[in-house]
Amino acid sequence: MFTRMVKRAGRQHRTVFVFLVLALALTLPLDQVSSLARTQETSEEVAQGMSLSGRLLDTLGEPVHDAEVAALEECRVEPVTHTASQSNGSFLLDLPSGTYRALTIKVSRPHFQPLEWQLSEAELDQLNTSGSLRLPDIELERRITPGFWVATLSFVLILALIALERLHKTTAALLGAALVLGVSLVGGTINPNLFVYDFEEALGYVDFDVIFLVMGMMIVIGVIEETGIFQWTAYQAYRLSRGKLWLLVTILMAITAIASALLDNVTTMLLMAPITIQIALTVGINPLALLLPEVLASNVGGISTLIGTPTNILIGSYADLGFNDFLVNLTPGVVAALIVLTIYVILRYRKPYAEAGGRLSDAMRERLRQGGRITDPEKLRKAGVIFGIMLVLFVMGDAIHLDPAVTAIMGAVAMLIWVTPDIEEMLKVVDWTTLVFFIALFMAVGALEEVGLISMIATAIGNLVGDNLTAAILVVVSSAAVLSGVIDNIPFTATMLPVVGYLTRTIPGAESDVLWYALSIGAAMGGNSTLIGASPNLVTAGISERAGYRVTYIEFLKIGLPAATITVIVGTVWLFIRF
């Protein structure tokens, strides 16, 4: 009996062991598993021969992967051995046993200068004596190839097509990515210097955290927006202000800023603008005197959280900044900027606010009240509970290692199960064109990284600011603010991510992540300066025009540029105080 028990216990242990191994295998990412396997193979091979290892870096200190590394003996054309560098830039050359009198390492990769590394006598001695040698990090210089121009011109084409509105953003980004891939794969077989990346490498540049966070939030917002909460809050602002226009605009700006921070600034303006126009006509004022302050507040308010703007989502994912990081490091600055912005708006519109007048009939007031009611209280209650839990999870995410993208997807699933179980209806709220836009954009920016344009920009900015963190903050904020006013801030921010990443690594003091917040402030607040600077500006102008109140480029510039300038200044001052 004892023997049977021992055997049973043994079987149980084996079963547990098998499960543990399986669990471990599932826990480990595939590349780690394969790298473990490689390490084992390598150890066996090294036991039979000699090895030479090292790491390839570009001039920014970034690993260079997929470079061809070959070892050549003196007077021989064929390499002794060759390999390709791994994703972390490392390489391991397995050399046949023997004594080497001269050895040269040849490194080649598209878009980099070919490099030959002659082993010194001391290095050869160590290799011959111990059988292995670890070379110091090898730096590869970039070079401009035809592929560089393909990637760069494709990206310029994307920006131009978007700016000139010749193609939809998604089509433009897809065209750019397809051009690079097409030329790379077809042209690359004719001229290797045209090769930029293959499809697998291109997909490697797609940040799926961003894709899933955006998709999850689309579903969550899609449910919340049909409850009438935006319209209800706007109507409450009208009711509470009791005809005081300065109070009305203050409350409307606060509502817009908070809604933009927690949900999305485009959705906020799309739903706030129609009711705001009705409120403005009810109180007898030009709707632009309320709409433009709202849109300015919307762009500023969105910066305060990770999920408030697409630029913050991009920055947060790339720089591994959590929801709390934005709350702690940006929200106080955003609140200060909003206070200053509100004062500016009240002063700017003091005359029309003072002259507002005219009473509408009771029937029209009733119509306004009807427009500002909660349309589906039950749905709002359920969606509110889920969104509240999501906010708690966003805040706790850092502590419990829960990615914002996972929280967003969990929230979306909860909405599917509890609020709107019709999956077909729910999936309609996901804007696939936006998600494809992000995917194509990541691939296009990835091409710029591959060919070295990003490195050049980073090096140029690095040379300009040196080790001066203050100068770096000012350069990042101001360039982001100015360029966001004239080009779409999403492609701009996506391009700047590796640049700011380099500056954060190399400038003393920048490890505090201050430059990421500088990019966030510049990219989003700068969007206030022009009509085309941010999506909320354009959709608000579209709604306003449908109501008979046209917003011209100049008219927007007159209020937007000073607003952008003062809010960027306040935001920058906050960064200097905080960091």
Partner 1 sequence: MKKILCATRGGEASRKTQDAVIAMAKKEGATICFLYVVDVEFLKLTARGVRADVVTTEMEHMGEFLLALACERAAEQGVEAEMCLRHGPLVEALESAARAEGVDAIAFGRPAGPDSSFSLADLERLTAQIEKDTGVKTYIV
Q: Which residues bind partner 1 (CB under 8 A)?
A: 165, 168-170, 214, 218, 221-222, 225-226, 231, 264, 266-267, 270-271, 274-275, 277-278, 281, 287, 310, 360-361, 363-364, 367-368, 371, 429-431, 433-434, 437, 490, 535, 538-539, 541-543, 545-550, 552
* Residue 120 per-residue DSSP state: P
Closest contact distance (angstroms) between CB of 306 and partner 1 is 16
Please state, in angstroms and as integers, the Cα–Cα distance from residue 209 to each residue in 268, 309, 396, 430, following that order.
Answer: 23, 15, 18, 16
Closest contact distance (angstroms) between CB of 441 and partner 1 is 10
Does an H or E element contain 208, and which? helix 208-224
Q: Which is nearer to partner 1, 439 or 515 (CB)?
A: 439
Instruction: Please say whether the beta carbons of 50 and 103 come within 8 A.
Output: no
Please give the backbone phi and psi of residue 507, each rounded to the nearest 5 degrees, phi first: -90, 125
Closest contact distance (angstroms) between CB of 515 and partner 1 is 26
Closest contact distance (angstroms) between CB of 353 and partner 1 is 18
Closest contact distance (angstroms) between CB of 500 and partner 1 is 23
Closest contact distance (angstroms) between CB of 391 and partner 1 is 20
Instruction: Please say whether the beta carbons of 333 and 571 come within 8 A.
Output: yes
Q: Which is nearer to partner 1, 95 or 440 (CB)?
A: 440
Tokens for 188? 């690359």
How would you class 157 by CB atoms within 10 Å of its CB: exposed for 0-12, middle for 13-18, buried for 19 or more?
middle
Q: Which is nearer to partner 1, 158 or 575 (CB)?
A: 158
Instruction: Please say whether the beta carbons of 439 and 174 come within 8 A.
Output: no
Closest contact distance (angstroms) between CB of 137 and partner 1 is 41
Closest contact distance (angstroms) between CB of 207 and partner 1 is 17
Q: Which residues contact 412 (CB under 8 A, 6 or more apart)?
A: 215, 216, 217, 218, 219, 220, 426
Instruction: Please say whether the beta carbons of 291 and 246 come within 8 A.
Output: no
How would you class 329 by CB atoms within 10 Å of its CB: exposed for 0-12, middle for 13-18, buried for 19 or more?
buried
Q: Which is nearer to partner 1, 191 or 375 (CB)?
A: 375
In the chain, the amino acid numbered 545 is E
Q: Which is nearer to partner 1, 307 or 469 (CB)?
A: 307
Are β-strands 115-118 and 103-108 bridged in parallel, bridged antiparallel, or unpaired? antiparallel
CA distance 180 to 194: 9
Q: Which is nearer to partner 1, 22 or 364 (CB)?
A: 364
Q: Which is nearer to partner 1, 184 or 537 (CB)?
A: 537
Q: Which is nearer to partner 1, 33 or 547 (CB)?
A: 547
CA distance 292 to 284: 16
Closest contact distance (angstroms) between CB of 287 and partner 1 is 8
Please state, in angstroms and as integers, the Cα–Cα distance from residue 123 to each residue in 76, 100, 132, following that order.
Answer: 20, 10, 10
Please give the backbone phi and psi of residue 556, each rounded to the nearest 5 degrees, phi first: -65, -40
Q: Which is nearer to partner 1, 343 or 364 (CB)?
A: 364
